[in-house]
Amino acid sequence: MKLAQVRAALIDLDGTLVDTLGDFVVALGRMLRELGLPAVDRAFVERTVGKGSEHLLRQTLLHVTGDPQAPERWFEAAWQAYQRHYLAINGEHAAVYLGVVEGLERLRSRGWPLGCLTNKPTAFARPLLERKGLAGYFQQVWGGDAFERKKPDPLPLLKACEALGMAPADTLMIGDSHNDAQAARAAGCPVVLVTYGYNHGQPVHTAGADGYIERLDALPL
């Protein structure tokens, strides 16, 4: 893993900085009850999160109804209910992963500009970082609605690098999934993945990253 050229970092949120699976399970459960639909289990949520809330809701609606038309027919009501329930519990059932604070301190001590780049809606991401005491580490936070497209498209990384005033080749992407690796590769950013996050039920070591770490503070600097 060669990081000598790196001078900035973009870091994913869910599954990388904070274990938010509990929040997703609770918010989805409340949404589904409100709509009179069956519940989903934790394993389904774990393999479905990571591609944005819209994708999560559509996959959930398809899963619980078995109806290919359900994601569109139910989506607007589901989206309104989900936003309300998620914002009400945002961070309540979530925990910062071990080594994250120490890792962020190490990155900040190097003088690197740091950005949080997530597919989570910005209205969810910012309050979560504040609640967990992580917001102060980041110069900027970009949610999944900040740009025209989400990861794994490279556009969010390219735009974030531009905003930080950094070249992609000098900007490390740190994430937990194929989404992060694919986006980084296409954008020209080096990428390191944590091994403990959410990767859509797939082995994270198949993602083709430049390196893998068990804790954020294990990043070789």
Catalytic positions = 12
The Cα 147–Cα 6 span in angstroms is: 24
State how far the Cα of 91 lies from the Cα of 190, in Å rounded to an integer. 30
User: How close are the terminal C-alpha atoms of the chain, in Å?
Assistant: 10
195 exposure class (CB count in 10 Å sphere: 0-12, 13-18, 19+):
middle
Radius of gyration in angstroms for the set of CA atoms belonging to the chain, rounded to a whole number: 17
* 158, two tokens: 């390219």
